[in-house]
Amino acid sequence: MKFGVVVFPGSNCDRDMQDSLQNDLGKEVIMLWHKDKDLSMFTTEDCIILPGGFSYGDYLRCGAIARFSPMMQSVIEFANKGGKVLGVCNGFQILCESGLLPGVLLQNANQQFICKNVFIKNGDGSALKIPIAHGEGRFHADEATLDALEANGQVIFRYCDENGKIDAAYNPNGAIRNIAGIRNAGNNVFGMMPHPERATTPSLMNMDGKKVFEILGLN
């Protein structure tokens, strides 16, 4: 599997993602400039990643301007053909703005930027310690959309404690139903607020990010 990492003006986690994929996971990575359009070097077995940061300075809603970049038009087409796409933090916001994922990311409930380690889990799996760093990470959707996500198994991660207990007390941003990440119905587009690329090396004393990529089938 080959990875493409899109670089927007304001991205600040693109090189973190590149380093994690290349040096920790041993993957081939191609950096993709937001003004370009060419994705011909990728097949639907590969993955395009929208990294964290503050694309276009977050001057409108987070991700709202990046959604219209030339590269994003190609990413949308790539996803609609079945290609894998992962959006992390600001990338998750862009996926929601582009319509590739439902819902929206709102300002954190405490109205403050949060940067710390949290715990998330996938289904009945073990708790994973993954860093977060966002000011607008509170996932929200209407009840019908939420019920559909639940029924289809599209909620991929929820905030929990270190033992895997899901409770509002362990929800850092007020996300509805403790949702930290979702996927689309086709199981090829994934969005999450926590940063798995910041937890893939012993030098950071955390390898749980590798398990995130494994859970998503991006390994």
Phi, psi of 209 (to 5 degrees): -60, -30
Contact 47, 3 (CB under 8 A): yes
Of the residues 13, 47, 89, 96, only one is catalytic, namely 89
Q: Write the CB contacts of 211 (distance below 8 Å, at least 6 apart in sequence).
A: 128
How is residue 139 written in tokens? 């996932």
Kindly tell me the number of DSSP H helices and DSSP E strands found in the chain.
5, 11
How is residue 74 written in tokens? 């190609």
Is 195 considered catalytic here?
Answer: yes
Of the residues 47, 62, 96, 195, only one is catalytic, namely 195
**In the block, residue with structure tokens 């587009």:** 189
**Closest alpha carbon to 196 in 128, 144, 147, 142:** 128
- Catalytic residue ranges: 89, 195, 197
